Amino acid sequence: MTAAMSMGMPTTRPQTTPGRFDAPNPAHTPMVQLIDETGGRIADPDFSLQLKPVQAVGLLRDMARIRRFDTEATALQRKGQLSLWAPLLGQEAIQVGVRAALGPADHVFPSHREHGLALLMGLPVERILAIFKGAEMGDWDAERLRFHHYNMVIGAHTLHGVGYAMGQARDAAADPLADTGVSVIFHGDGAISEGDVNEAYVFAAAYQAPAVFICVNNQWAISEPVELQSRVPLYQRAWGFGIPSVRVDGNDVVAMQSVTDWALNRARAGQGPTFIEAYTYRMGAHTTSDDPTKYRESSQAEAWRRKDPLHRTQSWLRASGVWDDAQQARLDQDAEAFGAEVRAAVDRVQAPRLDEVFDRVYARPTADLAAQRAQALDEASR
Amino acid sequence: MSAGNQPTTSTTLTLAKALNAGLRAALAGDEKVLLYGEDIGSLGGVFRVTDRLQAEFGTDRVMDSPLAESGLIGTAIGMAMRGYRPVVELQFDGFVFPGFDQITQQLAKLRFRSHGRVALPVVVRFPYGGGIGSVENHSESVEAYFTHTPGLTVVSPATPNDAYWMIQQAIATPDPVIFLEPKRRYHEKGQLDLTAPARELHEAAVVRRGEDLTLIAWGPMVRTCLDAANAAEQEGRSIEVLDLRSLQPLDMPTILESVGRTSRAIVVHEAARNYGPGAEVAARLSEELFYVMESPVLRVTGYDTPYPPSAVERDWLPNLDRVLAAVDRSMAY
Ligand SMILES: Cc1ncc(C[n+]2csc(CCOP(=O)(O)OP(=O)(O)O)c2C)c(N)n1
């Protein structure tokens, strides 16, 4: 099938006017990749490797830690200590690569699967576990951590991220020497269909907001393949909104770092928003309540296992002479210890107090709520 | 469910499976009926309410939609204009809001706007309510937004038999129906009478006879009220339980008949209290039965906070103890 046919255009169309039919070409999707699946170094004409292998060692450690967090949380859910978990298995390089590029004033607006990035931004393990234990919805100081709240209503937060970036731009105009930062907004391939997300692109472009969209294309929105959401590769859609965009190998941590760094610099230089499609695969179930055997072939995940982000980084670092068996053994040990920390953290999650639910609805509780609070405590104590 | 050629008059199913059977019957009975929603095809929906229906009726009749609720409801409206009967599934109560304009300003008003020329036989069905330990936005009781919107009808089954029949009746209705499914009851089993529906879609039902007081509920709270009525019986109280089944329109004759006899009423719902559905029922009773009532109509509801973290939902939601406490208060007048 030609690109034109798959775009649904007549094959016999006139070709006389340059530019008229030049839609983005879904058959041509050059993806930024700096380290290939076997750990080999690839040269890219547009993006250079910014980290020396020895610097990338830290990224490998972060990915291993995040993976352990995820595995442990999945196990905790199975044991009934969490009511739900949304695994991030396979998406570690995106979160670590983005973190590695962030500057000291940049802010992250996560969706619902950025647990690893949360830890890297300094969130205590138990804050994320508490959400999935049903104990809270986000008890952290987002402004200080520069990591904003999870959002379960798909896509709604993308507008908040753009608005925040508009605020950052105003602050920058008022104080040109200050680093007022960029907003980095995560959303999935499913979310790309929501009206709010499309409006976020419109506003980001209209105001040239210092925003970077990280579209985590893990190929699936629960049971729906990305092809149901979009007939063209996701990054090509951004051009329709006037937002420059690239597709990056989301399993290549140094490529993620390099491209995110470029996008952040564009935003800092007043060049407006960028859209990054991080191309990856959801290796696990959508959540622990999901059953992927109902809707997808396991062979797909098998193929993606060979593109594993940790494995390829290890191979590259070994080949570069900065990683060996002893270091790997130590990393495995560290991960083991971190696993124990995660298990201990889940026990630290406090069930909320009923009265406290009434205290955070308004700045000043209404008389009505105060009465209901008293009634609730009375009834719960019987 | 047996497959058609074997005549059956009754069977026992969970509420979710009864809905599945009702949807299957509707698809088989009218080729204009379409199921439409996120993850309803090969997955069968996150609660499996549409399990295997796509395999049986094809991807043309049971359609996975892109992840966009406004788009989902808006295009269902368009298909209805073209003579189809879309049955839209929204995945959870907390995800109706991206489609709110399409429901409350479009779906609800086209008949009115077009002087009756445009009928929209669209059903919007979704699981609602709490009690299952969910994360945020998965436990909301959103009845009042829709009962407060003229042009919509709003119903909620509490039993598998009602689920089976009411979904079919809703689909056959010429106007939009908001069909609220009590998610915490999805797995509760009940007997289905496959011969005929027991009542009309918008009729209320006395599901337990009593003399001292009427508990008024719908959906998930009907079971809670029945449990409370049984517990109260131990203390010598005779409690009637009324399952409203339809919130818009309300079946006032049945409500007035019941409360007219018992002269005491308590409305029980999970939704927050202020401006909640209980307020309407209480106001009507006070207008119609002022001289009959022996105590003010009480409400046992969720509190006026956002739905809390699920770790405290047990104390936040109406439960057996809270209902019994209200019964004591009412009887003490
Ligand atoms: C508005 C809204 N509609 C539906 C859902 C139910 N839901 C939760 S996650 C999800 C799929 C999201 O897919 P994607 O954006 O690709 O992110 P992923 O889960 O794959 O990381 C859906 C449909 C929701 N949370 N919010």
Q: Are residues B117 and B254 in the same domain?
A: no
Q: Are residues B147 and B212 in the same domain?
A: no
Instruction: Give the integer Cα–Cα distance in Å for B200 and A194.
Output: 37
Residue A192, pLDDT > 80, answer yes
Residue B2 lies in a domain: no
Q: Are residues B141 and B271 in the same domain?
A: no
What sign has the CA pseudo-torsion A149, A151, A155, A159?
negative
Tell me whether residues B325 and A222 touch, CB distance under 8 A.
Answer: no
Distance A160 CA to ligand 1 centre (A): 17
B192: pLDDT confidence band, cut at 50, 70 and 90?
A: very high
- Let me know the angle formed at the C-alpha of B140 by B297 and B313, rounded to the nearest 5 degrees: 80
pLDDT digits (tens, 9 = 90+) for B16-61: 999 999 999 999 999 999 999 999 999 999 999 999 999 999 999 9
Tell me the CATH class for A26-377. alpha beta
Q: Are residues B175 and B212 in the same domain?
A: no
Q: Are residues B284 and B151 in the same domain?
A: no
Tell which residue, B198, B119, B195, has the closest CA to residue B157. B198
Nearest CA to ligand 1 atom 5: A154
A321: pLDDT confidence band, cut at 50, 70 and 90?
A: very high
What sign has the CA pseudo-torsion A355, A360, A365, A368?
negative
Q: Where does ligand 1 bind, in terms of residues with CB under 6 Å?
A: A 113, 152-154, 188-191, 216, 218, 220-222, 282, 286; B 38, 67, 69, 91, 95, 98
Per-residue confidence (pLDDT) for residue A6, from 0 to 100: 46
Which one of B42, B43, B67 has the shortest CB-CB distance to A229?
B67
- Please state, for a pLDDT cut of 90, what percent of chain B lies above it: 97
Helix, coil or strand: residue B85: strand
Q: Residue range A70-85: average pLDDT?
A: 97
pLDDT digits (tens, 9 = 90+) for B129-161: 999 999 999 999 999 999 999 999 999 999 999
Lowest pLDDT segment from A212-226, B6-20, B271-285: B6-20
Per-residue confidence (pLDDT) for residue A3, from 0 to 100: 42
- Please state, for a pLDDT cut of 70, what percent of chain B lies above it: 98
Nearest CA to ligand 1 atom 11: A221
Q: Does the active-site annotation cover B138? A: yes
How does A88-108 read in b/e, with b if 16+ C-beta sit within 10 Å? bbbbbbbbbbbbbbbeeebbb
Burial class (CB in 10 A: 0-12, 13-18, 19+), B332: exposed
Residue B7 lies in a domain: no
Tell which residue, A104, A38, A102, A77, has the closest CA to residue A257. A102
Instruction: Give the integer Cα–Cα distance in Å for B112 and B105.
Output: 11
Q: Are residues B242 and B102 in the same domain?
A: no
Which one of B39, B98, B321 has the shortest CB-CB distance to A379?
B321
Q: Residue range A164-184: average pLDDT?
A: 97
Ligand 1 atom with the shortest distance to the CA of A286: 19
B1: pLDDT confidence band, cut at 50, 70 and 90?
A: very low
Residue A130, pLDDT > 70, answer yes
Q: Residue range A300-329: average pLDDT?
A: 97
Tell which residue, A272, A156, A160, A157, has the closest CA to residue A207. A272
Per-residue confidence (pLDDT) for residue A225, from 0 to 100: 98
Q: Are residues B297 and B175 in the same domain?
A: no
Q: Are residues B146 and B188 in the same domain?
A: yes
Give me the amino acid identity at B229. Answer: A
Structure tokens at A366: 């209404």
Residue A5, pLDDT > 60, answer no
Q: Are residues B34 and B170 in the same domain?
A: yes
- CATH number of the domain at B227, please: 3.40.50.920
Domain ranges within chain A, ordered by starting residue: 26-377
Task: Please state the domain count of chain B.
Answer: 2
Q: Are residues B276 and B140 in the same domain?
A: no
Q: Are residues B173 and B55 in the same domain?
A: yes
A4: pLDDT confidence band, cut at 50, 70 and 90?
A: very low
Which one of B70, B135, B315 has the shortest CB-CB distance to A380?
B315
Residue A2, pLDDT > 70, answer no
pLDDT digits (tens, 9 = 90+) for A253-296: 999 999 999 999 999 999 999 999 999 999 999 999 999 999 99
> What is the extent of the structural domain holding B98?
13-192
Instruction: List chain B residues with CB under 8 Å of A220.
Output: none
- CATH number of the domain at B175, please: 3.40.50.970
Structure tokens at A352: 């909320």
Ligand 1 atom with the shortest distance to the CA of A112: 21
Which of 289-308 (A) contact B at CB < 8 A? 289-291, 294-295
Instruction: List chain A residues with CB under 8 Å of B307.
Output: none
Residue A307, pLDDT > 70, answer yes
Q: Are residues B167 and B273 in the same domain?
A: no
Instruction: List chain B residues with CB under 8 Å of A291.
Output: 43
Q: Residue range B237-260: average pLDDT?
A: 98
Element (H, E) at B191: strand B189-193
Contact B266, B326 (CB under 8 A): yes
